């Protein structure tokens, strides 16, 4: 913790001031994690002091987010290209890289040293000792990295983190059992004859049980292996299924443009000059 505070002080992350009553303060939280080596032994203890940015609203409190870290999609694209072209890969780490971003907005932070949801106090007490948020986070980590087939499931589970019920907990355990039975399954990157970028998009049209809000999804493959995927609830209720399909295609196309630009900057894949 002392090292974390020292790093923030050296990088001039904040300036201590007396807040005004009209200013909106963002709370902070300490996150702790035990790092283990390849043998499973404890290597070091990490502490991170993070702001609860989810309390802010886009377009009001901030315009865009910043993260000086590699995305999952860029990492998987690099892995696919390394396997396809028989390249050598060298990995490096930059400490406290996320502290090097410049914020354009002024943020004030407080410093500290539906159906299956619970319906009564008994059900709330039953779920109080269930680590539902940790369960969702663990499954989401697997989904983000190597399990695109459970993207829709984890999207639905994440909607009930503020008030989960026993049914949600049971569904989470079912997903864990599924992952345990399929733990030998993996994404395999290898050399293929085709290195083109191919994408798929779809939408799950929902009715009253989901407030009429549909779920969009897309998946992109390069050299025959999935490198980017997403399943997310659309932002609002639309008048027709055509609009839902249009939104799903728009989100997939926007991501395809990002992937195309990233792969073009690498200047390794000749086929990227052709349409996705």
What is the pTM (predicted TM-score) of this model? 0.65
Measured distance CA(211)–CA(197) in Å, rounded:
35
Q: At a CB cut-off of 8 Å and minimum separation 6, what does 225 contact?
A: 76, 80, 187, 188, 189, 190
- Mean pLDDT, range 160-180, rounded to an integer: 89
Better-predicted residue by pLDDT, 253 or 116: 253
User: How much is the pLDDT for 257?
Assistant: 92
Q: What whole-number percentage of the chain has pLDDT above 90?
A: 11
Contact 271, 195 (CB under 8 A): yes
Write the CB contacts of 11 (distance below 8 Å, at least 6 apart in sequence): 96, 99, 100
Residue-wise pLDDT tens digits, 30-44: 778 887 877 878 888
Q: How many residues does the chain have?
A: 276
What tokens does 88 get? 């050598």
The string of pLDDT tens digits covering residues 117-153 is 667 777 777 777 888 888 998 898 888 888 888 888 8
Asked if 45 and 24 touch (Cβ cutoff 8 Å), the reply is no
At 113, the pLDDT band (50, 70, 90 cuts) reads very low
Q: What mean pLDDT is predicted for residues 216-224?
A: 89
């Amino acid at each position: 913790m002392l090292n974390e505070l020292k790093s923030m002080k050296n990088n001039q992350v904040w300036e201590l001031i007396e807040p005004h009553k009209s200013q909106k303060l963002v709370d902070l939280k300490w996150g702790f994690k035990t790092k283990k080596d390849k043998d499973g032994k404890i290597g070091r203890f990490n502490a991170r002091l993070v702001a609860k940015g989810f309390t802010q609203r886009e377009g009001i409190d901030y315009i865009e987010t910043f993260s000086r870290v590699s995305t999952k999609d860029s990492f998987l694209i690099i892995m696919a290209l390394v396997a396809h072209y028989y390249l050598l890969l060298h990995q490096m780490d930059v400490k406290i890289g996320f502290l090097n971003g410049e914020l354009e907005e002024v943020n004030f932070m407080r410093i500290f040293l539906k159906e299956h949801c619970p319906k009564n106090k008994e059900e709330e007490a039953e779920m109080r000792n269930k680590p539902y948020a940790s369960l969702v986070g663990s499954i989401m980590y697997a989904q983000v990295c190597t399990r695109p087939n459970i993207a829709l499931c984890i999207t639905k589970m994440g909607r009930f983190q503020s008030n989960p019920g026993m049914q949600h907990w049971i569904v989470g355990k079912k997903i864990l059992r599924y992952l345990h039975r399929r733990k030998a399954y993996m994404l395999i990157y290898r050399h293929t004859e085709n290195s083109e970028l191919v994408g798929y998009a779809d939408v799950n049209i929902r009715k009253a049980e989901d407030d009429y809000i549909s779920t969009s999804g897309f998946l992109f493959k390069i050299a025959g292996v999935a490198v980017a995927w997403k399943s997310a609830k659309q932002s609002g209720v639309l008048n027709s299924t055509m609009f839902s399909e249009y939104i799903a295609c728009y989100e997939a196309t926007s991501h395809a443009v990002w992937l195309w630009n990233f792969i073009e900057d690498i200047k390794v894949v000749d086929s990227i000059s052709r349409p996705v």
